[in-house]
Structure 1
Amino acid sequence: MKAAVLKSLGQPLAIDHIADPEMRSGEAIVDVVAAPVLPYANEVFSGERRYPIELPLVPGCGAIGRVRASGPDATRLKVGDWVFCDPTVRSRDDASMPDITLQGWSARGEGGLRLHRYYHDGAFAEQIRVPTENAIRIGNIEPEQAARWCALTVMLVPYGGLLAASFQAGETLLVSGATGNFGSAGVAVALAMGAGCVVAPGRNERVLDDLQRRFGERVRTVKLSGNEEEDRERMREAAPGPIDCVLDLLPPSAPTTAVRAALMTVRPYGRVVLMGGVGMLGGDGLDLPYPWIMRNDITVRGKWMCSPDAIPRMAALVRSGLLPLDHIDVTTFSLDCANEAVEHAAEHAGPFRMTVIQP
């Protein structure tokens, strides 16, 4: 099969013919119809993000495709089914503390590297081999819709955080990093879940105006100044009442002061979920006040990606019309143009924009 291969960091992807994946028990082979190119893919491939990956590697984080073959443990998955290939691969021998790898993208810890060495190659290829449970049915779609369904890769991240926070319809959410790729998706997902109000702070006035235009009065935008105390007060004032939950999705380049300014807007007994990249490139710690957390009974938790049951639930949100995909601007590239796709994704990053490779 044809694939885009990362042979060394800092070098272009090589478009090669490699062996077709071989299915074993507990696995499925999926024909890749559309694979998203994340905006920071160039930072992973250059080594700037210092992801623990072993080369050579067929990269690609998630895909929409159709089942080519499945093993004897699959009782409902059929050849031809449309599926979302979940890149979050979990070890099966410890349900309470599974090791995790993002197939074709990154690994975490020694156990994650062991998974990475087996479920190694990602979706920048004509076929991908995934664990059976990672080929998740999304129902019938038209082939031309496959690229838009790649938006699940981005939207599932904030959705995982909101589910972890037990976010409820009618509540007020603050999305820290709302003008970014994942943050803007978090605004859309929260509204689809029934948020009474979403406070959307950021520095990019154009994106803030666009969020207001897209979603109307349920979104309250806040232009940040960079002054921690001032920004915290303005975010509180923007909300129609107490802020029930804060979801942080700020990128590695953001300072911890921006995180803290947002997190400390939450009401007593409120919840905070950390899902961003702050600190991954070094720098100061978050330094939240112990007395504030304790006396206000604040729940602070981290969340990485989403639980497996989030995917069919999100597919249901899309199919119900609560989370429409038709407003997403999608640019597609052939597999032969994978390097151009990576460059395009970096140069055209932004809310509700997707770059997709279609093998």
Structure 2
Amino acid sequence: MKAAVLKSLGQPLAIESIPAPELGTGEVIVQVVAAPVLPYANEVFSGERRYPIELPIVPGCGAIGRVKASGPDATHLKAGDWVFCDPTVRSRDDALTPDITLQGWSSRGEGGLRLHRYYHDGPFAEQVRVPTENAIRIGDIDPEQAARWCALTVMLVPYGGLLAASFQAGETLLVSGATGNFGSACVAVALAMGAGCVVAPGRNEQVLGDLQRRFGERVRTIRLSGNEEEDRERMREAAPGPIDCVIDLLPPSAPTTAVRAALMTVRQNGRVVLMGGVGMLGGAGLDLPYPWIMRNDITVRGKWMCSPEAVPRMAALIRSGLLGLDHIDIATFALDDANEAVVHAAANPGPYRMTVIQP
């Protein structure tokens, strides 16, 4: 089969023929129809992000496709089913603390690296092999809409954080990093879940204006100044009432002061979810005040990606019309043009833009 292979960091993807994946028990072979190219893919492939991956690798992070074959443990999947290939692969031999790898993208710890060596290749290929539980049915879709459904890869990240925070309809959410790719997706997802108000701070005035135009008065945008105390007060003032929940989705380049400014706007008994990349490249720690957390009964938790049941729940949000995909600008590339797709994704980041490879 044809695939795009990363052989060396900092080098272009090699478009070549490799052996098709072989089916094993507990696995599914999926014919890839559309695979998203994340805006920071170039940073992963260059080594700038220092993701723990072993080369050579067929990269990619999540995909939409159709089941080609499934193993004897699959009791519902059948050939031709449309599925989302969830890249979050969990080890099956420890229910409490499973090791995790992002198939075709990164690994976490020694156990995650062992998983990475087996579930190694991602979806920048005509076919991909995934664990049975990672081929999640999304129902019948128009093949021409497959690229739009790649938005699941981005939207599921903040959705996982909101579910982890037990976010409820009518609550006020502050999205730290609202002008970024994942942050802007979080705004849309939170509103679809019934948020009473979403406070959206950021530095990019153009993106802030776009969020306001798209979603109206339920979104309150704030242009950040970089002064921690001043920004914190302005974010609080923008909210119609106490801020129930804060989710951080800032990238590795953001300073911890920006994270702290947002997090400490949350009300007494509020919840904070950390999902961004701050600190991954080194630098100062977050340094949240112990007395503030303790005396205000603040819940602070980290969340990486989402639980498997988030996928069918999000598919239901999309099918109900509560979460739309039509407003997303899609640029599609053939597998032969994978390198051009990576360049395009880096040059066209931001809200509601997607670059997709369609093998």
Shorter-chain TM-score category? Answer: over 0.9
SS at match of 1:345: helix
For residues 217 and 263 of structure 2, the distance between their equivalents in structure 1, rounded to whole angstroms, comes to 23
1:218 paired with 2:215, answer: no
Number of the residue aligned with 2:317 = 317
Mapping of residues 191-206 of structure 1, within 5 Å: 191-206=191-206
Mapping of residues 226-237 of structure 1, within 5 Å: 226-237=226-237
1:306 positional shift = 0.3
For residues 325 and 11 of structure 1, the distance between their equivalents in structure 2, rounded to whole angstroms, comes to 33
Number of the residue aligned with 2:160 = 160
1:23 positional shift = 0.4
1:348 positional shift = 0.4
1:280 positional shift = 0.5
For residues 298 and 230 of structure 1, the distance between their equivalents in structure 2, rounded to whole angstroms, comes to 22
Instruction: Write out per-residue CA displacement over residues 153-192 of structure 1, whole angstroms, 9 at most, x where no aligned residue.
Output: 0000000000000000000000000000000000000000
Letter in structure 2 aligned against 1:83: V
For residues 287 and 20 of structure 2, the distance between their equivalents in structure 1, rounded to whole angstroms, comes to 49
Q: How many residues align?
A: 359
Mapping of residues 72-111 of structure 1, within 5 Å: 72-111=72-111
1:67 paired with 2:67, answer: yes
Q: Which runs of 5+ in 2 are unaligned?
A: none
Number of the residue aligned with 2:239 = 239
For residues 157 and 187 of structure 2, the distance between their equivalents in structure 1, rounded to whole angstroms, comes to 12
1:277 paired with 2:277, answer: yes
Mapping of residues 1-359 of structure 1, within 5 Å: 1-359=1-359
Instruction: Write out per-residue CA displacement over residues 120-172 of structure 1, whole angstroms, 9 at most, x where no aligned residue.
Output: 00000000000000000000001100000000000000000000000000000
Instruction: Write out per-residue CA displacement over residues 294-340 of structure 1, whole angstroms, 9 at most, x where no aligned residue.
Output: 00000000000001110100000000000000000000000000000
1:18 positional shift = 0.2
For residues 279 and 116 of structure 1, the distance between their equivalents in structure 2, rounded to whole angstroms, comes to 23
Could you list the runs of 4 or more consecutive aligned residues of structure 1 that deviate by over 6 angstroms after TM superposition?
Answer: none
Q: Which runs of 5+ in 1 are unaligned?
A: none
1:93 positional shift = 0.3
For residues 324 and 189 of structure 1, the distance between their equivalents in structure 2, rounded to whole angstroms, comes to 9
TM-score by length of 2: 1.00
SS at match of 1:159: helix
Letter in structure 2 aligned against 1:126: E
TM-score by length of 1: 1.00
